[in-house]
Amino acid sequence: MKKIALFVGLMMGAVSAHAADCPDVLKHMKRKLNSQEVVNMCEAYQGKTILFVNTASKCGFTPQFEGLEKLYSDYKDEGFVVLGFPSNDFNQEFGDEGKTAELCELTYGVNFPMFETISVRGDDADPLYAKLAEDAGTAPKWNFYKYLVDKHGKMVDSYGSFTKPDDTDFVNDIKTALAMD
């Protein structure tokens, strides 16, 4: 019996230590878009270089989904992930997550993880986006605002909506972040 208690105690300590090592920006549970599946951000994305993007389905920047998918496809095997968070903060998102998912998947071929619709700015900002804004020193100014976070959970930089996914400096920042130890 003592061996079992010791084993359980050691395992609980390992889990606590793992959670303690998780960067604050990833200490969130998020529901996948148009799904009941909830993702532990720490378990899923710790150790990865992450691009967080607040998206909208009815925005002039919506075609950036194609470029974001290309970035994800090009660099996912190197430890890079794009995480999309639809937001209606600028009144350009469907009220129905099914329509948002359909647009992402069928129109733009999005395979990178998309999550539930959230608020990304102001007093109602989701805690994840409040943390991103705190770390970057700025909240999203519009849809398709981007935050690049390195594999240690440190903010690399934030990028406005006009920064296209194929922008040379932006892509170089991603490559640099991926190469960091």
Cite the active site residues: 59
Contact 27, 40 (CB under 8 A): no
Helical ranges in 46-103 per DSSP H: 64-75, 97-102
Distance of CA 18 to the CA centre of its chain: 20
Contact present, 176 and 77 (Cβ < 8 Å): no
All residues at 6 or more sequence positions from 109 whose CB lies less than 8 Å from its CB, including other chains: 66, 69
* 178 and 78 Cβ atoms separated by less than 8 Å: yes
Residue 120: closest CA among 99, 147, 89: 89
Kind of pairing, strands 49-55 and 80-86?
parallel
